[in-house]
Chains A and B, each alone.
Chain A
Amino acid sequence: MGRVEDMQDPLIAAEVWLAEGRAVALATVVETWGSAPRPVGSHLVIDSEGNFFGSVSGGCVEGAVIEEASEVIASGQPRLLEFGVADETAWRVGLSCGGRIRVQLERIGE
């Protein structure tokens, strides 16, 4: 079981990054259907340079989330993203057996 105190925790990492003056977005798995590699509640944090920490799928879906993150950081508007069987990247990451995930992506702001 992960300890909150270490840096092995995306939410702690997000705070450390903010303290360093970096702009940060937070992605969270909010729903899964079928077999999904990461459980609901999993976090990924992304900064405006595209650095990231954590995981929402364990693979290629991260790339798409990171791309969207720069826009969310710029606009401050949250987004709900869905990846499913019809999605090519999701297919490759192993969500092919009927799996779908929904990810919320939001900026950490003042």
Chain B
Amino acid sequence: MGMEDDIQKDFLAESRENMELLDQQFVELESEPDNAELIKSIFRTIHTIKGTSGFFGFNTLEGIAHFAEDILSKLRDGIVAVNEKITTVLLQAVDHINAILASLEQTGKEPDELEHLDFIVELRDFAEKLETSRDTTPDQKGGSPEGTKTNETDASAQAGPEDENPTQCPAKSRKDETSGESEKTDLPGEKVSPVSGQEPKAEKPERSSSPTTYKASDMKQGFGRTPQLTESHIRVDVNLLDRLMNLAGELVLSRNRMVQIAGQLNNQELLQANQRMSLVVTEMQEQIMQTRMQPVGNVFNKFPRIVRDLARQAKKQVQLRIEGAETELDRSIIEIIKDPITHMVRNSIDHGIEKPDTRTANGKPPGGTLTMRAYHEGGQVIIEIEDDGAGIDAQIIRRKAVDKGVLGEVQAEALSDRDALLLIFQAGFSTAEQVTNISGRGVGMDVVKSNIEKLGGAVDIQSRIGRGTTVRIKIPLTLAIIPALIVNTAGQRYAIPQVNLVELFRLSDESVERNIQIVGGSEYYRLRGQILPLIRLRRVLGLKEKEPRNGLNIVVLNNGDKNFGLVVDGINDSEEIVVKPLGSHLKHIDCYAGTTLMGDGRVALILDVVGMTAALNLQSDKPMERSLSQEESIVTAEERQFILLFSVGPEEYFAIPLALVSRLDKITPDDLEMVSGQEVIQYRGRSIPVIRLENYLPISPLPEQDEYHLIVFHLNDKDIACLVSGIDDSLDMAVEVEEQMFRQEGIVGSAIINDHTTLFLDIYQIIELHDPSFFSGSCHETRVGRILLAEDSTFYRNLLSSYMVAAGYDVVVAEDGRQGWEKFKQEEIDLVITDIEMPHMDGLELTRKIRSHEVNSDVPVIAVTSLTGDSHRQRGLEAGINDYQMKLDRERVLSSVHELMDT
């Protein structure tokens, strides 16, 4: 029983393999109808299936194989010549055989479906008709005499062994349903003697004139495979190989430990023995790795058939060229790239290659060429899908993008052709004028891209109108072993795949303070003039922020789209790591790509750079970054602020500190919705209230525009947005604000910027005017306490003081440290808020004085600055400052005040 099971399994596996080969061979046969070797090879495959299925008693399978063999024998013997009809029927037979094999594999039984039986009848009829039809349809094909000749000679030479059918005659072993029919036909093909000179037949001119580009070696390999396989190949369960890989990894670790011990013992003999073992183990690991490599041809070889079917469906003529099928790739990668490649091939045939008449009209050959190419480049494998079709018109893509609301018109126009092409990888794009059942609705290219990026690969597209399109996929050789950078954070090691790595650098405390800017809650660093967003790994992983720091280690990574800096505690080393998948309990976490074993036998997580940024929602806030990169003046630690300038209507200019802005966006009037009398927009599935400034300020109303700008604030854990006409500029300036001229709720003051009178908004007040309950629940309970506020800038002094007053505190203001110190001595103060940089006496000095005061030395002190930096913080803490806040972050300042007041 077990024995038979094993044989059956072998049979299935072998048949599967052969069937894959068949697909390819049939398509080849169409373009080379005279290739006798090819026909014989196909015949042999079918013949083997027939024989073996008879042995196991798979009647349906045997029936189909039998009649397919019938047709093939006629081809082989030159009774009929290959034509499209025959190929189609034979391919159908292959499909049925595949379906039955699949069912056998799953259930161990043949499927009961009638369609297979129906097909047997059809196939038999076809086989019978073939003989008679050859006389009636000679006009269908023209012919090449040489080909026929070789065909015949080969056929007669081969006829002997092939004709001797195996002992189990199918007609006898087949019972039930097929028996009746089979007796009638009884292997007619083999009995008809070859008729010579009968077929001056060949293929359609364009087919035979364009030779396929399978290399001769591929052919040989293909044909020789069946007999060779049994001698030199065995089938191994893939799981077994995986386990072997695991164990080899473990062996390497054990070896490392041994080498360590031998070194400690300093035993020469042991060291030598170890060295020998090291070599063997390393080599063994390499060999085991090798077992996972497969030629990419395993995927490519499925395409002749797919291309043929698709081309027929689309009524186009497509010739497939395959190059570099022998390029080797890891088994797991091959499996993953299959679908993306299929998708792109479909796209090429459906959208790329034109109909024959269009092509002819454009002076191209009627048949298009699709090239699939694989090769190694720089330790990676490149796969290219190239067509000579119509190309992609960037202008059409732009228009589509605007129509579909993916981009605004201005944005779309600003895109380079290259960037516009990349839009097809976004969800919801389909450029075909008509959606066909081949390419679907443009869903997919985005999936293609994300699937490939998940592998650590990249997709690129190049296209020339009228000349064709090339899609280029870059993928790593193997997923199993990758070079990685090991970093550590919070006492654990993490591996970062080297493909994502751009560079490493380290910032001293001083440089951290000077060069890291905080905008809208995110940190940015200027690296050689480029703005680099910084992400702290501890924050990403939800770990505690590190308290004392000693410079920053920054790993610059690329997520396939843009660079960003990952702040880690430490950088260890570069290593080749063995990637192991995450268990099902952890798979859902986007930040991890897998796990790996480190040299000491401990486990480390592999970070998923793409997933990590997706989780963080790292968006390209272009205006925000531009604002940072455009700012010309050198940033000093003093009272300079990034100011965002915007306008409402043609004449109303406003400014707000950029630090308060969480995001800038553009919307069209259609995006605005009215919900219970309030304007909102939908953003990431949530409704954000929209404020029109003219409702709260005496200004002209926002004119009707095709597109509005949106300034989004994230305050009190809620989003709220301001609708404005345009974002004009952003600059880094020393804030000199005139507070007297415009005394108005919602306005802090005014200044002349770029020759315009510009109003500085108090966005907190405006939001409160719009929604009095917006800030409730966080910091609006009335408080008691007297706060000393020492701040030399009138603007900030008034701003901060207004926050404190609004929160219910008494505020005593001082214009510098010295005045502050005087007032501190005179009045009863519960808490001090001080600027650091002030004339006469700075905030640190003030703090030190307070700390040495005989009575009130324990009054809490909060320091505020416009820029945060760590050495400040350090010095501040040393001077006795309790907390450190950014001036403009009202919420943080207030919560810090509440907290310190309460203690």
Are A and B physically bound partners?
no
* A binding-site residues for B, Cβ under 8 Å: none
* B binding-site residues for A, Cβ under 8 Å: none
